[in-house]
Structures are given as structure tokens and as C-alpha cells.
Structure 1
Amino acid sequence: MPDSTPPPGQGADDMRLPEDIQQTLLAVAHRRTLARGGSLFHKGSSPDALFGVVSGSLRVSVVASGGREAVISMLEPGHWFGEVSLLVGRERVYDTCAVDATEMAVVAASDFHHLIATRPDVHMAFTRLVCLRLRQALAWIDDAILMPLPVRLAHRLLTLDARAGSTLLAVSQEDLAFMLGVSRQSVNRQLKLWEEDGTLRVGYRSIELLDRARLEHRAATA
């Protein structure tokens, strides 16, 4: 499962592997580049590697039988994923494609399993990562059932802000709607209200955060 909105009290950086573990993985990885819109793998494909984003970004999504797409996450540099399918030996359960030109670090399944078997620190790092993602999935369920749209949208924008390291977020209203499981019109209405009070500015496939403190207050207001 890729990472997405961290639960309250958990930052986006908590979902990253420690730097020394990342360097260990990079040492055995080969590089792969994807053009904008290029696919890394599709749902149902065999788990043959672990992946890390070196530059660019990836869109992670699932498509229902009726054709509706739900965006699970946007993965930025420093994020590793694919370990769950490798550990359980089951096919991938989501699709990935490059949002823009993206460079990937690819660790072959055999190298990943060797590290897990011989390096207790690597094993523990991935155990912690999987546990955090399980905790995160439970938080998603709570949010979907209990939290109103403004709170969920504020959480999502703050998470994207933390990953990007910038107040200008390269995300469309359609992507936000897919991430939250609501209509684009609902997202647009809420963003317009926040634009009117100076919290943010809506652009073409982008959102600029103008008042992070105000958005944090909204994210904390149930």
C-alpha cells in the first residue's frame, strides 16, 4: 500500500525509510526513467521489484469495474513502495503512472529478499513502514466515516504541502476529488470558499497555500 494522508500526529516524513536504509537500497538498485504519463506497473502485475522515487512524482490509483478511478496517493522523491506485494508474494493491487518525467530506483525482488533476510535493520525498517501504513489505512476509514469534507480536504492539502516542500502544490481539483472519493464540484466549492477568505489561491492544476496556520486550524476542526 502506498502512503497517503498521515493520521493526526504523524507527519509525512514518518512514512519515509531512514536515510541509511535508503542508501543501502540505492546501492543495489538500478535506475529507470518514465516519461510523463508513463506506466510503472498495472494492477495484477507480478511483484518483481521494490521501487523508490528519485525525482519527479508518481500517481497511484485504482479503477473500479465501472471505470471510476480513485487516486490513492501521489508519491514524491524519497518514498519507497511495493514491499507489501513482495513480502506476501501476491500481485499488485493498484496502478502507477508518472505525473511528470520521473526517475525510479528499482531493487530486484531477489536483492530485496536477501537484504530482509540478512540485515535486521532493513527488516525492522520495513516492518515499521508496513505497520505505519496499516495504521494509516485505519485512519482513512475513520476519516471517511466520521470527518466532514472540509477537514479531510485540509488534511490532504497539508500532506501534499509537507511532501512538496513548497506552498505551491501541483495537484488538480480532479485529483483531489479522486483522492477523497467525492465530486470535483464539491472540492471546487470548498476551495473557492477558502480562496475568498485568503487561505489559498487556485490555479491551473495547482493550488498555492497562502495561510498554512488557518488551514491547520481547519484540519483540526471536526
Structure 2
Amino acid sequence: MHEDRAQHEPGVLNPELDAALRQHARRRLLGRGEQLYAFGSVPDALFCVEEGVLRLSVTSPEGRESVLSMVTQNQWFGEASLFSGEPRGNDAMAIVASAVLIVPAAAVHQLVDHRPDFLLQFLAMMGRRYRMILSRMDDTVLRPLPARLAREVLQAHGRELAAAGPHHPVTLRFSQEEMSQMLGASRQSINRLLKQWERGGAIEVAYRSLTVLDPEALRLLTERDEG
């Protein structure tokens, strides 16, 4: 299953490289709202979420925050700045109590020097991230909000299933404010859609969480809005 995930999901590496990196990692615990690193900081490590969820975001000079992505269990991140040598291009913050694995930059470079094929794995992972960003940009321009929101919920649902194993229903850590920032929509619009889907039996909404009851209903929503 891990091999299949590495072929499709941003942040997931093949088992051999994943295991090699973990041998050099130290573990850091983060409380909810605690920052892992800040925009402009030195790229001195590679990171992996062991437990919890981290938010990657940027903030405009006017103070408006835009969420780039949520990083979940067993996903690596921070590789772009690590290899380019440029300062971090975003903030990283835990949105729930989390545990993060930290691999020093020197250890990453040493692994790549001894195993050039590992570098290809990192390049493939960066390519998946780039494709995800382009897809999200296309969605913002071409697809209506219901389809975009349903897609984000389904993707989070799929990640949770892959990490925890197949079980139903799946409960996701979910913030309407963060989702509105990610999709470029108002919080009121997100709330209205969630309530509508809840009445239809597709999901159940609670404080900072969302339970997927009927994934197929959400999938049909995306297909209907595409058509």
C-alpha cells in the first residue's frame, strides 16, 4: 500500500528511502498552534508528520493568510528549500497536537550522495506537489465551489484511510476557516455547503472535525459539478 501511495500522493516516499530517512530523524512534539518553522527561515532539515496535522501557509503584508496545504501522517515536506538552498517559502504550524520527525540537511544530502536514485524519488515527490498546485489553480478558475470542497474532503478521506487502514466512518480534523483560506471562499459559503451535505446524510459536522458517512455521495457531487 505504501508503494501505491508513493506513486500518487504528495509527500509520500518509497519504503526504502522513507526508512533510511527515519534512521537519521529526531522526534519533536508540537502543541496545537505551535510553529515548526517560519517563512524566511534557514532550510536546515527535512520533516515528516508522525502524528497529527500541520498547516503550510503564507501571509500577505496586509496580514491575510493563505493555506497552501495540510500535511498529514507519514507525509514528508520541506524538500524544495532544502535542495534549492533558499529560505523557507512558507510557515508551518501544527493545527492539532502533533509529532514531527526532523532529519538534518547534512544527513539528507549524504544519503543522496551515496544513492543518486534517492534524488529521483525526491524529484518525483516535488513533481507531484507541483501537479497538485496546478490542479488546485485550475479548480479555482474552472470548477464551482461545491466540486472543489467535495474533492478536498474526499482527498483527506482517502489519506486517512491509507494511513489508518480501511474502516468506516472516517473522522477528519477539519477547520472551516482553514478550508475557506485554502479554497479562496468565504467561511459562510463553506458552512452552508457542509450543512447541506449533512442534511443529505453524506457527512456529519462537529467542532473542528468532520465525519464522512457516504463517500460515494461526495464523489457524485464532484462528477455532477464537472458535467
Q: Is the TM value for this pair above 0.5? A: yes
What SS class does the counterpart of residue 28 from structure 1 fall into?
coil
The alignment of Structure 1 onto Structure 2 pairs a total of residues equal to 213
Residue 210 of structure 2: aligned partner = 207
Aligned to 1:143: 139
Matches within 5 A, 1:6-155: 14-15=9-10, 16-155=12-151
C-alpha deviation, 1:102, in angstroms: 1.5
The 1:160–1:211 alpha-carbon spacing in structure 2 relative to 1, beyond 3 Å, is: same
Following superposition, the deviation at residue 154 of structure 1 comes to 0.3
Deviation of 1:14 after TM superposition, in Å, equals 2.8
Aligned-partner residue type, residue 183 of structure 1: S
TM-score (norm 2): 0.88
Letter aligned with residue 9 of structure 2: D
Counterparts of 2:9 and 2:29 in 1: how far apart (Å)? 26
Counterpart of 1:217 in structure 2 is 220
Whole-angstrom distance in 1 between the partners of 2:208 and 2:221: 23
Per-residue CA distance 1:176-201 (angstroms, 9 max, x = gap): 11111110001011111111211112
Contact 1:34 / 1:102 at 8 angstroms: preserved in 2? yes
Amino acid in the other structure paired with 1:79: Q
Say if 1:11 and 1:158 are closer, same or farther in 2 by CA, change over 3 A. farther
Q: The residue matched to 1:156 in structure 2 has which SS? A: helix
Residue 39 of structure 1: how far off its partner (Å): 0.8
Q: Which amino acid aligns with 1:59?
A: R
Normalised by the size of structure 1, how large is the TM-score?
Answer: 0.90
- What is the distance in 1 between the residues matched to 2:148 and 2:66? 15
Report the CA distance between 1:121 and its aligned residue. 2.7
Structure 2 CA distance for aligned equivalents of residues 147 and 31 of structure 1: 40
Gaps of at least 5 residues in structure 2 are 162-168
- Find the residue that maps to 1:60 and give its secondary structure: strand
Q: Secondary structure at the match of 1:47?
A: coil
Gaps of 5+ in 1: 1-9
**Residues 178 and 204 from structure 1, CA distance in 2 versus in 1: closer, same or farther, beyond 3 angstroms?**
same
| Contact kept? 1:58, 1:75, Cα under 8 Å | yes
Partner SS for 2:185: coil
Q: CA deviation at 1:164?
A: 2.2
SS at match of 1:24: helix
Taking the aligned partners of 2:7 and 2:216, their CA distance within structure 1 comes to 17
Decide whether the 8 Å contact of 2:53 with 2:72 is kept in 1. yes
1:172 equivalent in structure 2: 175
User: 1:100, CA displacement in angstroms?
Assistant: 2.1
Distance 2:50 2:130 in 1: 24
State, as a whole percentage, how many aligned pairs show the same letter.
40
Give the ranges of 4+ consecutive aligned residues of structure 1 lying more than 4 Å apart after TM superposition: 10-13
What is the CA–CA distance in structure 2 between the aligned matches of 1:135 and 1:78, rounded to whole Å? 20
**Structure of higher RCO (CA pairs closer than 8 Å, 6+ residues apart):** 1
